[in-house]
Amino acid sequence: MTGQRAEPLGVLVVDKPEGPTSHDVVALARRLLRTRQVGHTGTLDPMATGVLVLCLGRATRLSRFLTGQDKTYRGTLRLGLETDTLDRTGRPAGPERPVEASPEQITAAMEELTGSLWQTPPRFSAKRVDGVRAHRLARAGRPGQPRPVQVVVHTFSCLGVDGAEVEFEVRCSAGTYVRSLAAELGRALGCGAHLTALRRTVSGEFHLQDALSLDRMEELAAAGTVWDRLIPPSGLELGLPAVTARDQALDRLAHGGWLEASDLEDTLPGLGEAGLIRILSADGSLLAVGEVEAGGARIQPRVVLLRPQERLVLARPAEA
C-alpha cells in the first residue's frame, strides 16, 4: 500500500550519518512524515553513525522496552592522547605519549574491561549534574562530574592495530559510553586514548542492513512509499514472551483492565513468574504489553496500543 496514511504506526530504522544529532533526525522524520509523534530509542553522538531506531505514532509508547536493549558498535580509537571530550572533536587533555603496547597487550587490556563495570560518563555528555546537563557545565568551565553508572560490556574485541590506531568491536548494555571505554583502555595501557570513529551496527533486534539512509528516507517520503518500510508493532519482539488474548477480553484490555488465565488462548511456560509479556490478538497484532503479577493469576496491562473503537474490528464473529 502506498500513499500517506492517517496515522503512522510502527518503527523506522535509519542510518544516521556523521554530523546531525539524534534530535535532528527526529525533527527531519517529523517533517517528512507529518507527525509530531516520533521518538528515538537511544542517542548517538553527532560524530557517531549507524542504527537509530525511530518509533512513530502509538509505537512511541513502546520505546521504553526498546531503549534498554543491548547495542553493538564498530569503531576506531587512537592511542597516545586523551582529549577533554574523549573523542577526536575535543582538545588534548595532556601531552601526547609514546605507544609501547603490543597487539597482545591491547587485547588483554580490552578483555579486562568486559563484564559488569562501574563507568563514569564523560563530562561532555547529556547526563545531568544537579539538574544541569553535564556538557553545559563543561563548556562553561564549571565543575561537575556525572555519577558513575553500572554497565555491562559483553565483548570488547580488537579487530586490528595499525600504529596507534586500533579498530574494535564492542557489544554492551544500553547506557554504555564507548568514548569512556576507549579512554579507560588508554589509561590501562598507560598512554591515553580517544575515540576517532564509531558506528552502531546493532540496536536490540534492529540491524544496520535494515536501515534507511536519510537521503533514501526523503526519497521514499516524497514518493509516498516510506510507510512500506515501517516495521509494525506485531513485528517487534521487544525481548519479551507473548500470549494471545481471546476476543472476549478485547473490550476490557482496550480500557486497561486485568486479564486472567481464562482470557488467554494459550498458556505460557513460566507464566507463573512475575515479568513483562506481549499480549497479541488472534491475527498476531500487538495489542499491549502487560505485567504478570506474582503467581501468574492475572496480567495487568502497562502499555495499551488497542483503542476501544478498534476492538470490534479485531474480534471475530461468534460461531453459530
User: Half-sphere exposure of 174 toward its Cβ, with a 13 Å CA cutoff?
Assistant: 13
Classify 90 as helix, strand or coil: coil
Catalytic residues: 45
Spell out the residues 6+ positions from residue 293 whose beta carbon is closer than 8 angstroms to its own: 274, 299, 300
As a whole number of angstroms, the distance between CA 176 and CA 188 comes to: 18
Q: What's the burial of 218, exposed, middle or buried (CB within 10 Å: 0-12/13-18/19+)? A: middle
As a whole number of angstroms, the distance between CA 69 and CA 90 comes to: 29
Classify 283 as helix, strand or coil: coil
Residue (of 200, 161, 195, 160) closest to 180 by Cα position: 195
Q: At which residue does the C-alpha cell 536519510 appear? A: 214
Distances (CA, A) of 39 to 16, 34, 135, 181: 14, 13, 22, 27
Residue (of 27, 28, 36) closest to 8 by Cα position: 36
Cell numbers of 293, please?
A: 503479577
Asked whether the beta carbons of 82 and 194 are under 8 A apart, the reply is yes
- Angle CA 26–32–36, to nearest 5: 55
Classify 33 as helix, strand or coil: helix
